[in-house]
């Protein structure tokens, strides 16, 4: 019981400490992504679907399907390896959409072995976690430290693969965005301004994504630890 309480406190402190170490400024990121002046620079670009198809031509991966998200209110876009599809959120008239689309296009040319591993492994990891949580709560799992170790081990592998995929796509996105913008009618100075903004966003967004992923692992362990303390207590 005491050991679980200490572990829980250490993980909470770890989350706070990592936020400080990464120097994350969430409000600053939101502010950078909402810039009406930069929105003006990209307002005459084609719609998001056309931009995606043009970028896929640049990276020579035109087999990817492109569609809009069913939920028109979501701004989230994603690439799914299962059906080789890029689903686009509602990003029209946002300057950052060029970088976001580049990010998803780059996911489509990453190692299929890694992408499939991430997809299958993530489901196994999440399923094991939920089952362990339920069985521990019901009292079937008595050796909670053993299962915490397994959850931690599975979480480290999940974080490593996912963080690599996201960091790789985010790092390369400004370069693909630059290649695409050079094919448009935008002036060179405007392109430089946009690419500079994309790089500034990445300076905060890359550590933020890595932080967000690792705290997911910590939060799952914290919840499991709390459930275990309730059952043991």
pLDDT of residue 121: 97
pLDDT tens readout for residues 37-51: 888 889 889 999 999
Q: What's the pTM value of the predicted model, to 2 decimals?
A: 0.90
CB contact burial 15-51 (16+ within 10 A = b; e otherwise): eeebeeeeebeeeebeebbeeeebeebbeebeebeeb
Mean pLDDT, rounded, of the chain: 91
pLDDT of residue 68: 87
Strand partners, 79: 86
Residue ranges in the chain whose pLDDT is less than 50:
none
pLDDT of residue 162: 97
Phi, psi of 218 (to 5 degrees): -65, -45
pLDDT of residue 107: 97
pLDDT of residue 54: 96
- Domain positions in the chain are 2-232
pLDDT of residue 233: 66
pLDDT of residue 198: 93
């Amino acid at each position: 019981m005491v050991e679980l309480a200490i572990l829980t406190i250490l993980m909470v402190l770890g989350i706070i400490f990592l936020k400080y170490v990464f120097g994350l400024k969430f409000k600053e990121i939101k502010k950078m992504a909402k810039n009406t002046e930069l929105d003006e620079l990209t307002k005459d670009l084609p719609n998001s679907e056309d931009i995606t198809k043009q970028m896929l031509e640049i990276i020579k991966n035109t087999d990817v399907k492109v569609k809009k998200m069913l939920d028109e209110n979501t701004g989230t876009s994603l690439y799914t390896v299962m059906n080789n599809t890029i689903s686009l959120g509602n990003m029209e008239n946002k300057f950052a959409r060029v970088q976001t689309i580049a990010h998803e296009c780059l996911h489509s040319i990453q190692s299929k072995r890694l992408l499939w591993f991430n997809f299958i492994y993530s489901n196994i990891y999440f399923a094991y976690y939920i089952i362990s949580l339920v069985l521990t709560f019901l009292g079937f799992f008595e050796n909670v430290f053993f299962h915490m170790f397994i959850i931690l081990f599975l979480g480290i592998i999940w974080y490593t693969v996912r963080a690599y995929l996201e960091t790789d796509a985010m790092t390369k996105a400004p370069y693909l965005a630059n290649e695409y913008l050079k094919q448009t009618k935008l002036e060179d100075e405007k392109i430089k301004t946009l690419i500079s903004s994309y790089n500034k966003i990445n300076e905060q967004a890359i550590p933020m994504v890595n932080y967000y992923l690792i705290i997911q692992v910590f939060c799952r362990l914290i919840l499991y630890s709390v459930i275990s303390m309730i059952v043991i207590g």
